[in-house]
Amino acid sequence: MDDHQLAEPAAAPAAPAAAELASADAPAAAPFLPFALPDIGEEEIAAVVECLRSGWVTTGPTARRFEAAFRDYLGADLQAISVNSATAGLHLALESLGIGPGDEVIVPTLTFTATAEVVRYLGAQPVLVDVDAATLNMDPQAVETAITPRTRAIVPVHYAGMACEMDALLALARRHGLRVVEDAAHAFPTRYRGRLVGTLESDITVFSFYANKTMTTGEGGMVVVRDPELARRIRLMRLHGISQDAFDRYVSKTPAWFYEVVAAGFKYNLTDIAAAIGIEQLRKIDRFLEQRRRLAARYDEALAGLPLVLPPRPEGDSTHAWHLYVVRLKENAPLRRDQLIVRLSELGIGTSVHFIPLHRQPYWRDNCVFDPGRFPVAEAAFDAMLTLPLYTRMRDADQERVIHALHGLLSC
């Protein structure tokens, strides 16, 4: 089950490419619509080729340029540290804060397993909490209830691309002396009350560039941090606990063979090949966002009459990254969620479920302390939810197919 969960999103984008090729000769068969698809253009391909030809393929000048460009995009006085996944970034973030055995870290149950597994890497205990019924984001009230004398940190997940109630969570953290690491895997770019996620008052924010996220480097992530001491620790532990990275040594005036190992670090650096893709994706991110917004608005309008709870709309100066478009079936819908997924799949439409709550997973059932009655919102949401296709290469006709299929299956 765990393997399936991990393999499934990676496998999904492969299907349409094959289907598209096949359908070139057989235009009658509509290609399978995935729920997500990366948007890689000639610019990314050229940048990778250039990197390959340059002779420097691991972490080096291109990763530095990517970090600088990302920091500039956020436009704040902070450091951006590239890593080979958001999972690695979350691990480094909690490690830099000194989280360890005996500590508790509060995590929402409605998230990907990575958010909680990194807590286990450090020998600490994830404590799962329920989400808010309207936004499916971590519920500040549930967080407050879960705080014990052992609680050290909270990890808000900006579900689907809309920010958590950060004012409430940050105030709570301040009041109880807790650290805050934002899992912003879905939230690039997202604004919370006018400010970009990554520039808020939390300790560290981690973004993901996995294949199905709002921008991709194949695999990759970015850790964003203000405190120079935390940044130093994260950079050190990103690469074996070695005090100078390979490129520093390559260009250094002092003898290149000398380095010092000052900790048992990890191997979490992002390659220049991946960073080259990231630089080009970042240049396009505002256009990607506009396209995602348009698709989301079109769904909102076209699905309004169906027995569906549509995604929440951020208020005021807050914005949505529209990484995922998640709908929930209402009680009076003629089909249950599992049936709807099968029927859509028969019509060549891919969907997904974000997420099977962690407290329902075999590992977390056995390795987390919780009372199963404590997740009424996540339980109800999980039973009713599915993620509809939304990606920048989606054409109007593709979306029309999804809308038409839903009207056919759900009109009462």
Ligand X SMILES: *Cc1c(COP(=O)(O)O)cnc(C)c1O
Please identify, among the stretches 63-71, 82-90, 92-100, 387-395, the one whose residues bind ligand X according to the rule CB under 6 A.
82-90
Angle at which helices 86-96 and 113-121 pack, to 10 degrees?
40
Please identify, among the stretches 80-88, 147-155, 235-243, 303-311, the one whose residues bind ligand X according to the rule CB under 6 A.
80-88
Residue of the chain from 62, 109, 208, 281 that contacts ligand X (CB under 6 A): 208
The DSSP call for residue 335 is: S
User: Least distance (Å) from ligand X to the CB of residue 210?
Assistant: 4
Nearer to ligand X, 182 or 245 (CB): 182
- Quick check: 133 and 108 in contact, CB under 8 A? no
Report how many residues bind ligand X under the rule CB under 6 A: 14
Q: Is 409 exposed, middle or buried (0-12, 13-18, 19+ CB in 10 A)?
A: middle
Angle at which helices 272-283 and 61-74 pack, to 10 degrees?
30
User: Least distance (Å) from ligand X to the CB of residue 295?
Assistant: 19
User: Least distance (Å) from ligand X to the CB of residue 36?
Assistant: 11
Nearer to ligand X, 31 or 38 (CB): 38
Please identify, among the stretches 165-173, 181-189, 263-271, 289-297, the one whose residues bind ligand X according to the rule CB under 6 A.
181-189
3 state SS for 39-106: CCCHHHHHHHHHHHHHCCCCCCHHHHHHHHHHHHHHCCCCEEEEECCHHHHHHHHHHHCCCCCCCEEE
Count CB atoms within 10 A of the CB of residue 5.
14
Please identify, among the stretches 28-36, 48-56, 83-91, 280-288, the one whose residues bind ligand X according to the rule CB under 6 A.
83-91
SS3 267: strand
Our finding on whether 85 is near ligand X (CB under 6 A) is yes
Sign of CA dihedral 353, 359, 360, 361: positive
SS3 3: helix
Nearer to ligand X, 111 or 361 (CB): 111
Our finding on whether 183 is near ligand X (CB under 6 A) is yes
Residue of the chain from 35, 66, 70, 210 that contacts ligand X (CB under 6 A): 210
Nearer to ligand X, 125 or 208 (CB): 208
Q: Which two tokens stand for residue 196?
A: 């970009």
Q: Please list every residue from 328 through 347 that binds ligand X, using CB under 6 A.
A: none
Our finding on whether 269 is near ligand X (CB under 6 A) is no
Backbone angles phi, psi at 304, to 5 degrees: -55, -35
User: Which amino acid is present at 212?
Assistant: N
330 assigned to active site: no
User: Least distance (Å) from ligand X to the CB of residue 186?
Assistant: 6
Nearer to ligand X, 324 or 333 (CB): 324
User: Least distance (Å) from ligand X to the CB of residue 265?
Assistant: 18
- Quick check: 190 and 321 in contact, CB under 8 A? yes
Our finding on whether 214 is near ligand X (CB under 6 A) is no
Q: Which two tokens stand for residue 311?
A: 């995604």
Residue of the chain from 106, 114, 384, 386 that contacts ligand X (CB under 6 A): 114
User: Least distance (Å) from ligand X to the CB of residue 197?
Assistant: 13
Q: Nearest to residue 282, comparing CAs of 384, 228, 213?
A: 213
Nearer to ligand X, 93 or 405 (CB): 93
Our finding on whether 288 is near ligand X (CB under 6 A) is no
What's the start-to-end Cα distance of the chain, in Å?
A: 34
- Quick check: 350 and 324 in contact, CB under 8 A? no
Residue of the chain from 156, 221, 311, 357 that contacts ligand X (CB under 6 A): 221
Pairing outcome for strands 104-108 and 151-154: parallel
Our finding on whether 86 is near ligand X (CB under 6 A) is yes
Please identify, among the stretches 62-70, 112-120, 130-138, 258-266, the one whose residues bind ligand X according to the rule CB under 6 A.
112-120
Sign of CA dihedral 256, 68, 200, 391: negative
Q: Nearest to residue 6, comparing CAs of 211, 238, 270?
A: 211
Nearer to ligand X, 109 or 333 (CB): 109
Nearer to ligand X, 56 or 363 (CB): 363
Please identify, among the stretches 24-32, 46-54, 110-118, 287-295, the one whose residues bind ligand X according to the rule CB under 6 A.
110-118
Our finding on whether 131 is near ligand X (CB under 6 A) is no
As annotated, the active-site residues are 213
Residues near ligand X (CB under 6 A) are 85-87, 111-112, 114-115, 157, 183, 185-186, 208, 210, 221
